A and B are shown apart, each in its own frame.
Chain A
Amino acid sequence: MALTPLIAEDGALYQRDRAWHPPAATPGYKSTTLRAPKHALLSLAPTKSEMTGPTFGHGILQPLDNDLIRNYSQDGSEAIGQRIVVYGQVLDENARPVRNTLVEFWQANAGGRYRHKREGYLAALDPNFGGCGRAITDDNGYYHFRTVKPGAYPWPNGGNDWRPAHIHFSVFGTAFAQRLITQMYFEGDPMIWQDPIALSIPDSAAVEQLIARLDRHNTTPMDALAYRFDIVLRGRRSTIFENKMEGN
């Protein structure tokens, strides 16, 4: 058998398991109806254009980027709500930590209200809560931030649909083909299983992967509960190379 020549110098990624992700069109989430491509996606082995991606140094971070309780404080007061620490590890599919990668997060306030001009929910804005933060993973792939637990809120989809409490995440990885946006839910929340957006994911085991676990051990005593949320990005395949790549 002839050896496959090395094609992409950066190595290939595992094919994305599209059955694990939500399909483009999920009628229960009505906004997808006119925004889902109808043509099949064109399968493309990643080239340098997708196997590379932007990197971000710690220089982009502001001191309070990972503290949503204080990073939008207008009068020195802290944000209102249940104080929590959210932390976790960014890994690839091979269970290797993804180091020095940018993680961005945004969320509603404790009442379920977003600081956004198109948001009309009657719950009050918190003058000291913006709802935006970011972190860069450490050498073991860990990130952490402090925030308040977001509230559930109603949204115009069905006649009376409510989003479960959730935090949005954006993660970069090292290749543009790894780029991912997802949402984190909270352990024990019955609202998850009636949410058209969580249920856009066909496999309940995949939904479970987005549910952060309460972590009593890492609770900050007399201050904040802790939730652990690990994020997995696509990993690189190990292939038959004529010259084995280092570290493979």
Chain B
Amino acid sequence: MLSQPPPLKESPSQTAGPYVHIGMTPSLEGITGPNVKDLGSGPVEAGAGPRISVTGRIFDGSGAPVNDAVIELWQADTDGNHKQAWGRVAVDGTGSFSFDTVKPGRVAGPDGKPMAPHVTLWIVARGINIGLHTRLYFDDETEANAADFVLNRIMDPRRRKTLIAVRSEASGRVTYSLDIRLQGDGETVFFDI
């Protein structure tokens, strides 16, 4: 039968507010002890594979760093399977974030073709009324990125690069960096998924 409107409405979103850390990264507020532990902190449980860092900064529409956001990451393992590779970080006073993880493999897209490797990011903060979904791709995946159905959905090719992190290497550690701009010049592409 054809789909009917659902009987219930989704609960409306509200901002996570400036004190989101109490609930989501409580140790940052000194809320510690045997009864409360942070979830999603430390290295992302992404299974085997070379560890990478995924880093960046987050900025508002005036170019000021957003220093009170919480970012969650969800990704596939190196074989392209989503298991438990989830992480959560609070940005620091300069708006910087960093995840210690493993570069994901390719995941099948809706057209059956593999999508380019990517991680999914979800951003909440004071002044964000509903969590923002975006993706982070890798700049050393030129061919896969060129064929990726999500990147190709972005009509303005200049905006595609707002999702593509830049690789660097120092002391044997590979880092992919991407800044997130909530608004204005270079505004990150956010998804309604």
Chain B 45-69 residues near chain A, CB threshold 8 A: 60-62, 64, 66, 68
Q: Shortest beta-carbon distance, A234 to chain B, in Å?
A: 5
Number of A residues, CB within 8 Å of B: 92
Task: For A114, list chain B residues within 8 Å (CB).
Answer: 19, 22
With a cutoff of 8 Å between Cβ atoms, the chain B residues found around residue A21 in the complex are 10, 12-13, 129-130
Q: Looking at chain B's contact residues, is the secondary structure mostly helix, strand, loop, or mixed?
A: loop
Number of A-B contacts (CB under 8 A): 267
- A133-B12 Cα distance, complex, nearest whole Å: 21
Residues of chain A lying within 8 A (CB to CB) of residue B130: 21-22, 24
| B183 contacts A36, C-beta separation under 8 Å | yes
The answer to whether A50 and B133 have CB atoms under 8 Å apart is: yes
Report A15-44 CB contacts with B as 1/0, cut-off 8 Å: 011101111101001011111111101111
**CB-nearest residue of chain B relative to A106?**
B23
Chain B contact patch, size range: 35 or more
* Chain A: CB-nearest residue to B64: A34
Q: Knowing A21-B12, A119-B19, A197-B14 are in contact, say whether A44-B150 is a contact too (CB < 8 A).
A: yes
Which of chain A's residues 191-248 have a Cβ closer than 8 Å to chain B? 197-198, 200-201, 206-207, 209-210, 231-235, 237-240
**Alpha-carbon distance A179/B124, docked complex (angstroms):** 11
Q: Which of B103-119 contact A (CB under 8 A)?
A: 107-110, 115, 118
Majority DSSP secondary structure for residues of A touching B: loop
Binding site for B on A (CB under 8 A): 7-8, 14, 16-18, 20-24, 26, 29, 31-39, 41-50, 52-56, 60, 62-65, 71-72, 91-95, 102, 104-108, 114-119, 130-134, 168, 170, 176-177, 179-183, 197-198, 200-201, 206-207, 209-210, 231-235, 237-240
Known: A48-B82, A54-B84, A132-B26. 17 other contacts (CB 8 A): A29-B127, A36-B127, A39-B189, A42-B154, A43-B191, A47-B150, A54-B86, A105-B23, A115-B29, A116-B29, A130-B26, A197-B14, A200-B14, A201-B12, A206-B12, A209-B12, A232-B8
